[in-house]
Structure 1
Amino acid sequence: MTWQNSRLGNHFKIKHGYAFKSKYFDTSGKYIVVTPGNFYEKGGFKYRDNEKYYSADPPDNFILKKGDLIIAMTEQAEGLLGSSAIVNQDNIYLHNQRLGLVINLNQKTLNKYFLYCLFNTALIRNKIRATATGLKVRHTAPDRILNIEVSLPDITTQQRIAEILSNYDRLIDNNNRRIALLEESIHLLYKEWFVRLRFPGYESVKIVDGIPEGWNRKTLKDIALSIRQSIHPSNTDPNTPYVGLEHIPRQSIALTSWGYSNQVDSNKFVFTKSDILFGKIRPYFHKVVFAPVNGICSSDAIVIRPINQDLFGLTLSLVSSVAFVNYTSKTSKEGSKMPRANWDVMEQYPILIPSSKLLREFNTLVNLVTNQITNLIFTNQRLRQARDLLLPHLINGSIAV
């Protein structure tokens, strides 16, 4: 297999983005202005909680299309310069001035997915970083990237490498879709049993004072506690999982990624596996996950722990429900910067408790689903680790295909 040195500019061009006017930035809308904050450090598209929506009509030639390859040309955060992502939806994302868009790609000499992987290797990132200017925030430019020289195999070899690496991403995406379906099954089960009251055997149960006979009216404090055990990261194993609000996904109960305690240096809350983490600052009330591991978390999260194992399913379903999130938002108290959830009020939220038998049945079903979700989370982590180990060796030719 012969690899040849070549300028990137011999194979494609890079289009600079548009300077969208800040006066049209909004909190909702049809279009989202993509920034370097939408990139993962290792590459790939990242969804954010504070997306920049655009309320005006954008120029047509700066609306990104599905399959477009974009590059971060501003180091908005450490390690993001040169990160690349492939756009996964049509006519939603806008190409702004901090990004480069790969155009006029010669597909006879360079495979797009191979190029995406190439941008996400340390070798190319270091070369891009060397082209950057700026003291506080580093920037690069299309011409500087295009002047970088790389070693490329023939197009057939590129396609084989791209297929190997993309298989990992397809498996990860498939698992993420399975996680989403499993999450939805929990929400639907909760609605069916506890909102619509169509639980097993409901046909033969009388309704007394608005609730099924044998059920009881309680509040959240009767089934769960807020745990505020504080610890400094220096007193933990450096590899202890750390969960900040940035790690908790939007509108998902699956915690799929986290950092480690050696990356933070202030007191954090301790949580244990199956605790529930609830973002307590108003923009993050929709961030609710169950913990698949033991670890520490930001003090901007409330650690909620069921008072016994049989109450896990009900507690998780309740605090992740839209109704509870809306209740928390409306009853939040003013903080120094922004409204925060008030546990003293949250714990007063009314709930219905079924018979012990039904409660155990519901909990068993939820546990089966959350165990599947946890297995998929760790499967995806192993897939990412394997892909990331293979990536540099395949791209530089040290492993033959």
Structure 2
Amino acid sequence: MTEWTTVALRDVAQVFDGPHATPRKTDDGPWYLSISSLKQGRFDFSESAHLSDVDLPRWTKRVMPRPGDTLFSYETRLGDAAYWGHSCQAALGRRMGLLRPDPERVNPRYLSYAYLGPDFQSTIRENTLSGSTVDRIPVGAMPNWPIRLPDLVSQSVIAEVLGSIDDLIENNRRRVEVLEEMARAIYREWFVKFQYPGHEDVPLVDSALGPVPHEWSVANLFNAADVGFGCSFKSPRFSNSGPFQVIRIRDIPSGISGTFTDEVADPRYAVFDDDVLIGMDGDFHMTVWTGEDAWLNQRVTRLRPKLGLSALHLLLAIEGQIKEWNRAIVGTTVAHLGKKHLQLVTVLVPNEVTLARASGVFVPMMDERRTLIQSSRRLAALRDRLLPKLVTGQIDVASLDLDALVGDRVA
């Protein structure tokens, strides 16, 4: 039978906090890991920024994340943490802390899972300090907090079980990233450089966008897509569960909603997989939706392609223009994208032969992307069910058939 002991956190790990300022951010370079980088026990690099190589030493004087560390938020999103298994250079952002485990006392990856487990999360809640603006974890007191651990062999088994699931999720993420990079590269080659199959025999002619291949046309976004705007749902009726998902602006980057309502809306506010979504406030994020049936909330726009375009083709055709609006529009507090801006967005529509070839490329990519993302969600749900039971001893790891469990979720 597995033996469990309770020790002080300082007995198995060092605790560090990050700098108390914000560096200049750049488009490339070492990662700058802020609170937004953490997403329910995982890293979301799409929400992470960069800083320059020159600035990196200033932000890592105290500590630089290294493989095996656990990074956590000590303000705003209390309790969120993730295992850092990356070899790339990175710096902690404001309100971020780090646990550096002693591998002779605790399995590094297990420590991350224990941090996310119900016992340590309860300790966090019991010790949280209420501030005038935000609640925070007293990082200085954290080394004295208790943490309950099984023996090292059991820790390694539990870490392997949960880590195998997380590794599958990460592998899916990388495959999605590669698919998206490939799709953008193909779009640039075919529809920006006009190096598409058969281009050698097609002359360029003048258009509203400049020279384009003969028999291609330029369409307004409202002709190239059915454009729908969101509904003003009653926010007091929002909850964490319910019969209907509601897509809010913040859900677009992750492609899944955690907001539900019992309101029934007009069918024109319905969103389905493969609809293109644009956030209309702040950063105008875009995605091809993969979160299954939902309602569209206000300040989110839904596009359904027409003229034979696929959803991925449509997104690639307009994302550069939406990004330009994001840079150009300046609000007093937050930028707002409006219908008047969308009416100025254009779509280059190729002839039928090239359009069919493009769909033959983009549709399978979109299908594979959706399959990978939805598989990752099922795996994440499995991990989130297993984690609290494994790190509290409610499930004996020796009785788990991981291959069968994962196989059911991936299928």
TM-score bracket, shorter-length normalisation: 0.7 to 0.9
Equivalent residue runs for 1:47-196 within 5 Å: 47=45, 49=47, 57-58=58-59, 60-74=61-75, 76-77=76-77, 80-81=78-79, 83-86=81-84, 88=86, 90-94=88-92, 96=94, 98-103=95-100, 105-134=101-130, 137-142=134-139, 144-196=141-193
Distance between the aligned counterparts of 1:87 and 1:165, measured in 2? 14
Match of 1:20 in 2: 20
5+ long unaligned stretches in structure 2: 399-411
Match of 2:257 in 1: 258
Match of 1:238 in 2: 242
Match of 1:300 in 2: 299
Query: How has the CA–CA distance of structure 1 residues 330 and 17 changed in structure 2, closer, same or farther, with 3 Å as cutoff?
Result: closer
By how many angstroms is 1:276 displaced?
Answer: 1.1
Query: How has the CA–CA distance of structure 1 residues 26 and 263 changed in structure 2, closer, same or farther, with 3 Å as cutoff?
Result: farther
By how many angstroms is 1:171 displaced?
Answer: 0.5
Match of 1:202 in 2: 199
When normalised by structure 1's length, the TM-score is 0.82
By how many angstroms is 1:386 displaced?
Answer: 1.0
SS in 2 for 1:63: coil
Match of 1:252 in 2: none
Q: Is the 8 A contact 1:64 1:93 kept in 2?
A: yes
By how many angstroms is 1:185 displaced?
Answer: 1.9
The answer to whether the aligner puts 1:354 opposite 2:358 as a matched pair is no
By how many angstroms is 1:284 displaced?
Answer: 1.2
By how many angstroms is 1:367 displaced?
Answer: 1.4
SS in 1 for 2:333: coil
Q: Is the 8 A contact 2:232 2:297 kept in 1?
A: no
Q: Is the 8 A contact 2:19 2:59 kept in 1?
A: no
Letter in 1 for 2:390: L
Q: Deviations over 1:348-389 (max 9, x none)?
A: 334432222322331232111111111111100111111111
Query: How has the CA–CA distance of structure 1 residues 64 and 353 changed in structure 2, closer, same or farther, with 3 Å as cutoff?
Result: same
By how many angstroms is 1:154 displaced?
Answer: 1.7
Equivalent residue runs for 1:207-286 within 5 Å: 207-209=204-206, 210-228=211-229, 230=231, 232=233, 238-249=242-253, 255-262=254-261, 270-281=270-281, 283-285=282-284
Query: How has the CA–CA distance of structure 1 residues 93 and 296 changed in structure 2, closer, same or farther, with 3 Å as cutoff?
Result: farther
Distance between the aligned counterparts of 1:212 and 1:280, measured in 2? 33
SS in 2 for 1:163: helix
The answer to whether the aligner puts 1:371 opposite 2:367 as a matched pair is yes
Count of aligned positions: 383
When normalised by structure 2's length, the TM-score is 0.80
Q: Is the 8 A contact 2:308 2:355 kept in 1?
A: no
5+ long unaligned stretches in structure 1: 250-254
Q: Is the 8 A contact 2:232 2:298 kept in 1?
A: no
The answer to whether the aligner puts 1:3 opposite 2:7 as a matched pair is no
Query: How has the CA–CA distance of structure 1 residues 289 and 269 changed in structure 2, closer, same or farther, with 3 Å as cutoff?
Result: same
SS in 1 for 2:98: strand
Distance between the aligned counterparts of 1:363 and 1:64, measured in 2? 43
SS in 1 for 2:249: coil
The percentage of aligned residue pairs carrying the same residue is 20
Q: CA RMSD in A?
A: 3.5
SS in 2 for 1:230: coil
Q: Deviations over 1:247-275 (max 9, x none)?
A: 222xxxxx5432232399x9995433322
SS in 1 for 2:194: coil
Distance between the aligned counterparts of 2:388 and 2:66, measured in 1? 28
SS in 1 for 2:65: coil
By how many angstroms is 1:106 displaced?
Answer: 3.2
Distance between the aligned counterparts of 2:233 and 2:80, measured in 1? 34
